[in-house]
Every structure is written in structure tokens, then in C-alpha cells.
């Protein structure tokens, strides 16, 4: 089983309820941060299983 990592908001640091694996690739996906005071729209960018902030 592959290790799953969680997406974190680059603005407030909140760990989002979104997981990705070590071989994930992603860009151009926008989500609303669920942090209590943040609520910013952020782009999720993942290269070679690492989130780029």
C-alpha cells in the first residue's frame, strides 16, 4: 500500500481533507480552503508526489 499525504493550504497551513500518493501529478485544480479564518481559493500543484506551494 502506498503512503498517502495530505494537501496543506500554502496560506494558513491547514491540512485539507484531500489526500494524494507518492506518484501523483497535478496542476490547475482549484479548491476552497476549509480553514476557519482562511477561506481562500488555492491551486493544488503536485509534482512527483510532492506538493509545490
pLDDT digits (tens, 9 = 90+) for 31-51: 999 999 999 999 999 999 999
Count of domains observed in the chain: 1
* Sheet strands (E) in 1-53: 4-8, 15-21, 26-32, 41-47, 50-51
What average pLDDT does the structure give for the chain? 93
Structural domain of residue 26, as residue ranges? 4-51
Q: Classify burial at 37, counting beta carbons within 10 Å of its beta carbon; exposed 0-12, middle 13-18, buried 19 or more.
A: exposed
pLDDT given at position 42: 96
pLDDT given at position 1: 59
Stated pTM of the model: 0.82
Measure the CA–CA gap between 19 and 2, rounded to whole angstroms.
12
Q: Does residue 2 carry a pLDDT above 90?
A: no
Say how far residue 13 (Cα) sits from the centre of its chain.
10
Q: Does residue 4 carry a pLDDT above 80?
A: yes
Asked if residue 20 lies in contact with residue 46, where contact means CB atoms within 8 angstroms, the answer is: yes
Amino acid at each position: 500500500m502506498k503512503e498517502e499525504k495530505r494537501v496543506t493550504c500554502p496560506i494558513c497551513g491547514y491540512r485539507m481533507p484531500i489526500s494524494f500518493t507518492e506518484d501523483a501529478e497535478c496542476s490547475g485544480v482549484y479548491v476552497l480552503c476549509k480553514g476557519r479564518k482562511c477561506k481562500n481559493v488555492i491551486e493544488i500543484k503536485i509534482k512527483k508526489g510532492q506538493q509545490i506551494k
